[in-house]
Amino acid sequence: MTVSPRTRDIHHVDIGTARLIVAPGGAAAALPETGIGSTERRLDGDDKVTGRAAYAGEEMPPGTLHGVLVTSPVAKGRIVAIGTDAALAADGVVRVIVPDDMPALAAPSVPPVAQSFVPMSDTSIRYEGQPVAIVLAETLEQAEHGAALVDLRIEAETPTVFETAETVTPRTEGNGYILGALDPARGDAEAAMRDAAATVDAVYVAPTRHHNMMEPSATLAEWRGGALHMHDSTQWTYGVRYALSGLLSMEPGDIHVRCPFTGGGFGAKGYVWPHQILAPLAARLAGRPVKIALSRAQCYTGSGYQPVVRSRVALGADADGRLTAIRHDTENVTSTADDYVEFGNAGTRSLYPAPNLSLTTRIRRADVGTPTAMRAPHEGPGMFALESAMDELSYALDMDPLALRLANYAETDPANGKPFSSNRLRDAYAEGARRFGWDARPRRVRARREGPRLIGSGMASAIMSTFRFPASARVCLTRDGAIRVEAGAQEIGTGTRTIFPQIAAERLGIAADGIEMVLGRTDLPETGGTFGSSSTISVGSAVADAADALRARIEGLADGTLPPREAWPALLRENGTGELVGEGGFSLPGDAPFDAHGGAGEHSMHTWGAVFVEMAVDEALGLARMRRCVACYSAGRILNPVTARSQMIGGIIWGYGRAMLEKSAMDPRSARYLSKNLSGVHLPVNADIPQEIDVSFIEEHDPHASAIGVRGIGELGEVGVAAAIANAVYHATGRRVRDLPITFGDLVG
């Protein structure tokens, strides 16, 4: 990476970092100068602010054809005929690929393939926006024009949507989307509810939303002999390799996937979607490289979405506020092809220790595409419901909402009795409350007014599952004394190009700046995907292991002690050694390929947080604004307080979007999204967001979850925010909104 002269001097970012990491007792923790925990500036920042960072499809080999997908305008039916004459007659159109052109594919493995139905493999239409043909042309404009000339004859049928579909139990056999038991239960929740001093029972809806990542999915496929080379916008290069290896019956080693920078994904680019399958097939048929970049409109059906989650939550408590019973029934929309399950009650399993529990997890199959994970899956939509219900219970008990949470603090995981690997949620509650000034909050609703505005504050707990994957990494000392870190992992904005060098730097006792980070390629050591807040815990541990191995090899050449960095090149020369390589890895208990919240291990693993929000509501205008947010987290060791803070702020703003703006509305007659663009879909913009978002982390070192003290943070920031906002709106106005997003109509009058 080229670093310009001016920023070489900026090693650290100074943005109020002194209060970011909170030591026991509430004092600011001392931050190290270098290595893990230092405020190292983002090492790929220069590449990103200058436009040098190259995203998928931005480097085109000569002869590349532009591919544009022709998609179905109806959600259910059968292709009768596809007229291609007009398209083929248009300037620059080279070929139009239709289902008849498609080779037979092996059955997809789901995941990494996102959907078990591969579009164009037959003539069926199973969702609106499904690809039915591909136009290849010399220029983008010619391909777009050609796509508009393709004549589709479709026999359409009336589609089913979430509202009209039947509620059913998901398939568990052979279903890669089952992450846990569907219906855990203990005790007798119904009986306990009857005997409770206070109860609440309500339905909460978190609607379908899209990832809306800034970089539309794009892929460039090129065949070189029998080998396939992809420059793909993905969160999982190895996943693309395995998906295509299965479908095309190719050796994995013949498929090379690279993605040095991913322009956002939030889950949309985690698994493998039709364009990533169709581009290589089109390139093979055309005998030329093919680039397919989804249009923004195609992003709404070209990959997944977070499905609507409808939760019914009932809580029963004794007079002291201790929960005696919890009931949480969830259902989500999915496609007819795949039983994707959004575990809306995932957080409910481990947050509060009620002796009586009844959870159910259901789906509704509709004529829509398959949903997928989106920041934050499962706990994101589900905790809106549970933490809204807890707020309602606090008013039913006339108890402070924070005191109610503390009365139900779980010392061990209620789901399985295991001790937590590390849990500082109690400290996070205390620190968050202190920073927010929670004690000064009036108990009553509608108690605070400033001019035309009602002011309210609300809080919520956050909990997120810890996901882990095996990983490998390599740290090399080059002949000229440079250090290079290699891992297949991706950089999607989470700062992997900064924190992996920081880890290696600490283990080697050197500065992170100047370490070369190579990632995002399948010819590098294998890692899992960059999703599920799993990269740092998994790949970071492997990098640490690799750096330790390299350090041992250097020490081995130098009589058992680590010589100063300057002496390393001479050491190599003296020993006649070229590049010195340290290989490292991270594996899971029982050598599992993946685990959630600790898997088969002895400890339960989650991350935690306490979110406090102040809302101002003008009932005459139906206007609500977030004035400030304070959030404190227990998430393990924080490798870089600066990049970590940015991730949490991002997550909080995602939560704001969930609460106040975002809903991918669907026309129930056509099963078609009403808005498929960034002007009709409301997303947070800069002016929506207050400058005062106060993020902090409790100083913590988790000895069990990873080799470097960390758990994960990326998704945690989104959790709880929507509930805290809805609870603050209730406190301000006495209006309880259970159906997101909170809109004008909920507040006006």
Minimum Å distance from CB 717 to another protein? Answer: 10
- The residue type at 365: R
Q: Which is nearer to another protein, 200 or 732 (CB)?
A: 732
- Number of residues forming the site for another protein (CB under 8 A): 81
Q: Which of residues 145-164 bind another protein (CB under 8 A)?
A: 145
d(CA 452, CA 616): 10
Q: Strands 151-156, 77-83: parallel, antiparallel or unpaired by DSSP? A: antiparallel
**Which one of 67, 112, 129, 263 is in contact with another protein (CB under 8 A)?**
263
**Partners of 125 in beta bridges:** 77
Burial pattern 571-595, b for ≥16 Cβ within 10 A else e, equals bbeeeeeeebbbbbbbbbeeeeebb
The token pair at 647 is 């991730």
**Which one of 192, 293, 402, 415 is in contact with another protein (CB under 8 A)?**
293
Minimum Å distance from CB 495 to another protein? Answer: 8
Tell how far CA 394 is from the center of its chain: 31
Quick check: 269 binds another protein (CB under 8 A)?
no
Minimum Å distance from CB 13 to another protein? Answer: 5
- Residue 710 contacts residue 605 (beta carbons within 8 Å): no
d(CA 262, CA 199): 46
Minimum Å distance from CB 647 to another protein? Answer: 7
**Which one of 199, 245, 262, 538 is in contact with another protein (CB under 8 A)?**
262
Quick check: 685 binds another protein (CB under 8 A)?
yes
Distances 134 to 268, 631, 637 between C-alpha atoms, Å = 21, 47, 48
Quick check: 448 binds another protein (CB under 8 A)?
no
Quick check: 643 binds another protein (CB under 8 A)?
yes
Q: Which of residues 9-28 bind another protein (CB under 8 A)?
A: 10, 13-15
Q: Which of residues 454-493 bind another protein (CB under 8 A)?
A: 492-493
Q: Which is nearer to another protein, 58 or 583 (CB)?
A: 58
Q: Which of residues 347-386 bind another protein (CB under 8 A)?
A: none
Minimum Å distance from CB 646 to another protein? Answer: 5
Quick check: 689 binds another protein (CB under 8 A)?
yes
Binding segment for another protein (CB under 8 A), chosen from 21-29, 411-419, 505-513, 642-650, is 642-650
Minimum Å distance from CB 642 to another protein? Answer: 5
Sheet strand arrangement including 449-450:
21-22, 693-698, 623-634, 606-618, 453-465, 449-450
Q: Which is nearer to another protein, 41 or 288 (CB)?
A: 41
Q: Which is nearer to another protein, 18 or 203 (CB)?
A: 18
Mask 91-130, x = binds another protein (CB under 8 A)? xx--------------------------------------
Q: Which is nearer to another protein, 225 or 451 (CB)?
A: 451
Distances 592 to 413, 534, 589, 601 between C-alpha atoms, Å = 21, 15, 6, 11
- Residue 724 contacts residue 46 (beta carbons within 8 Å): no
Minimum Å distance from CB 680 to another protein? Answer: 9
Torsion sign over Cα 588, 38, 548, 546: positive
Name the burial class of residue 449, with classes exposed (0-12), middle (13-18) and buried (19+) by CB atoms within 10 angstroms of its CB. exposed
Mask 40-79, x = binds another protein (CB under 8 A)? -xx-xxxxxxxxxxxx--x-------x-------------
Which of 477, 429, 407, 473 lies closest to 612, judged by CA?
Answer: 429
Name the burial class of residue 92, with classes exposed (0-12), middle (13-18) and buried (19+) by CB atoms within 10 angstroms of its CB. middle
Q: Which of residues 575-634 bind another protein (CB under 8 A)?
A: 616, 618, 623, 625, 627
d(CA 268, CA 485): 27
Q: Which of residues 174-203 bind another protein (CB under 8 A)?
A: none
Quick check: 1 binds another protein (CB under 8 A)?
no
Quick check: 686 binds another protein (CB under 8 A)?
yes
Binding segment for another protein (CB under 8 A), chosen from 311-319, 327-335, 461-469, 679-687, is 679-687
**Which one of 33, 85, 122, 141 is in contact with another protein (CB under 8 A)?**
141
- The phi and psi torsions of 712 (rounded to 5 degrees) equal -155, 160
Q: Cα Rg for the chain, rounded, in angstroms?
A: 26
